[in-house]
Chain A
Amino acid sequence: MDSYDAGSLPSDDNVNAYSFCLDLTHDWFLKRGAMIAYYGDARFDPLSALSSASAFVAARFSSPVYAQEWVVVSGAGKVVVADRGHDVNSFDLDAGNLTVRAGNLLAFDTSLELKQSIVPGFLTLLGTGTFIASSNGPVIFVEPPFRADPEALLGWADCPSPSQHFDAAWMAASITGMLTGVFGRASGEERQYDFTGSGTVLLQSSEQTRDDPALLRVLTEQTQVLSPTQAAELAGILQARAARA
């Protein structure tokens, strides 16, 4: 088995199915913890610490909620990224838009612009450039019309944001089940994301997702729309759930 060195590591390509090598010929946004090894003189700067010279780079990352989990890697050399042994793939965007689950996005070109998606836990990339994302199992590409399990959904490109679809038959059967005490609504199979229009939907091969620490902050931010009374009610609901758990 050959061993890699700085020269023989692939440039902006997969080392194997589970790791990817970034070439620092240009700067990258990198998720904290995604780097497993690097060669050369690479600098990892937090977004907040960027000097005024590269402030325009930080301005392309317009999601304060996620900013503390990301760094800018610059300098010279090669950086190998991976995510818990999951499949890692690179995708090229050409003046396009793509929304991807925040927990699965590992790195992207600083030429791409990042915005927070309306759907909680998802990030949208705009422009031209490369991004690296992980998936549990190979990625499956499907075309709308398609309904996806929220946990299996990896992202979508060029099509409108999904709406939620509730399976009426499942809900009815579920309620009957609850009345007879046979089972609860644990699997959440009654809720799906409904994609219409033209574009591509990306699915991972499993319904297993990783915890996204920023998701809590996103949802907290969204509770601003609630009135104080409603907020107090929500607090009560969450407390009751925490007590059950």
Chain B
Amino acid sequence: MGAFEQVNSKVVRCPISPQSAVLSRRGAMLGYTGDVRFRPVHGQGTGLGGAVGAVMASESAPTMVAEGSGSVLYGHRGLHLTVLDLRGEGLVVEADRLLAHSAGLQTGVQFLGQGGLRNVVRGAVTGQGLFTTSISGTGSVALLSHGGAFPLTVSPGEPVGVDPQAYVAHTGAVQVDLSAKVGWREAVGRGSGEAFQLKLTGSGTVYVQASEQKL
């Protein structure tokens, strides 16, 4: 299993072998060497969540798979990339921000949070939709961010508050909650613009991008 190699801040080189194919966002291939074949993939993940997710995500993030042997360069719209190597720990990331990952990883679609009306509110507020992609297993993942992503450690007793627009992904046993601090200032449109925050508690790492621009 070859790990992804970052060529520069915006391009990743992914080794492809018969044992390890790579799934990526459709259209993000820049070039390749060797005997590599590309195939569009319909839907993402497995099970009911995957089926639902495929419908939900098909508009925003159609995927393709690269098989064979060689290496492929991926990049997308000049956005910055973060490469993470997963060794069993889970990763939760918005489907739009997922550029490429090893095909050996299991992906699923999950609700961000515990469910209920709150999620509807969160989806509406963050513009991230109700579904995020959860990834588990062993392999590499390349994430897109605007301006580069950096990790913040979440530990018990030290929760992290994140601007919903700046949130990229998180790993580990982390609970995500939306905290709304809506006062009369927000109601009349004179607030700081920071009324909504994602509150992350537990232990793990959250990746935050250096910009509030959505993809």
Q: Quick check: B30 and A205 within 8 Å, CB to CB?
A: yes
A41 interfacial contact with B, CB 8 Å: no
Q: What 0/1 readout, one digit per residue, does chain B (13-53) give for beta carbons within 8 Å of chain A?
A: 00000000000001111111100011110100000000000
- Among A7-15, A21-29, A134-142, the stretch in contact with B: A134-142
Q: Quick check: A169 and B77 within 8 Å, CB to CB?
A: no
- Among B4-12, B149-157, B173-181, B198-206, the stretch in contact with A: B4-12
B75 interfacial contact with A, CB 8 Å: yes
Main secondary structure of the interface of A (DSSP, over half): loop
Question: In the assembly, what is the distance between CA of A203 and CA of B26, in Å?
Answer: 18
Q: Quick check: A207 and B9 within 8 Å, CB to CB?
A: no
CB-CB under 8 A from A140, the residues of chain B are 7-8, 11, 30, 73
CB-CB under 8 A from A186, the residues of chain B are 26-27
Q: Which of these, B11, B33, B58, contacts A137 with CB under 8 Å?
A: B11
B208 interfacial contact with A, CB 8 Å: no
20 contacts between A and B (CB under 8 A): A136-B78, A137-B8, A138-B11, A140-B8, A140-B11, A147-B32, A167-B38, A169-B37, A169-B38, A169-B39, A170-B37, A177-B42, A203-B11, A203-B73, A205-B7, A205-B11, A205-B75, A205-B78, A206-B79, A207-B27
B64 interfacial contact with A, CB 8 Å: yes
Q: Quick check: A137 and B75 within 8 Å, CB to CB?
A: yes
CB-CB under 8 A from A189, the residues of chain B are 26-27, 29, 38, 40, 64
CB-CB under 8 A from B58, the residues of chain A are 183
Q: Quick check: B31 and A146 within 8 Å, CB to CB?
A: yes
Q: Which of A163-208 contact B (CB under 8 A)?
A: 167, 169-170, 173-174, 177, 182-183, 186-190, 192, 201, 203, 205-208
CB-CB under 8 A from B148, the residues of chain A are none
Q: Quick check: A205 and B27 within 8 Å, CB to CB?
A: no
Range of interface residues on chain A? Answer: 20 to 34
B90 interfacial contact with A, CB 8 Å: no
Q: Quick check: A138 and B30 within 8 Å, CB to CB?
A: no
CB-CB under 8 A from B27, the residues of chain A are 186-189, 207
Q: Quick check: A152 and B30 within 8 Å, CB to CB?
A: yes
Q: Quick check: B40 and A206 within 8 Å, CB to CB?
A: no
A137-B8, A137-B10, A152-B31 known; A206-B75 Cβ under 8 A: yes
CB-CB under 8 A from B7, the residues of chain A are 140, 205
B62 interfacial contact with A, CB 8 Å: yes
Question: In the assembly, what is the distance between CA of A207 and CA of B33, in Å?
Answer: 17
Question: In the assembly, what is the distance between CA of A189 and CA of B76, in Å?
Answer: 13
Question: In the assembly, what is the distance between CA of A152 and CA of B30, in Å?
Answer: 5
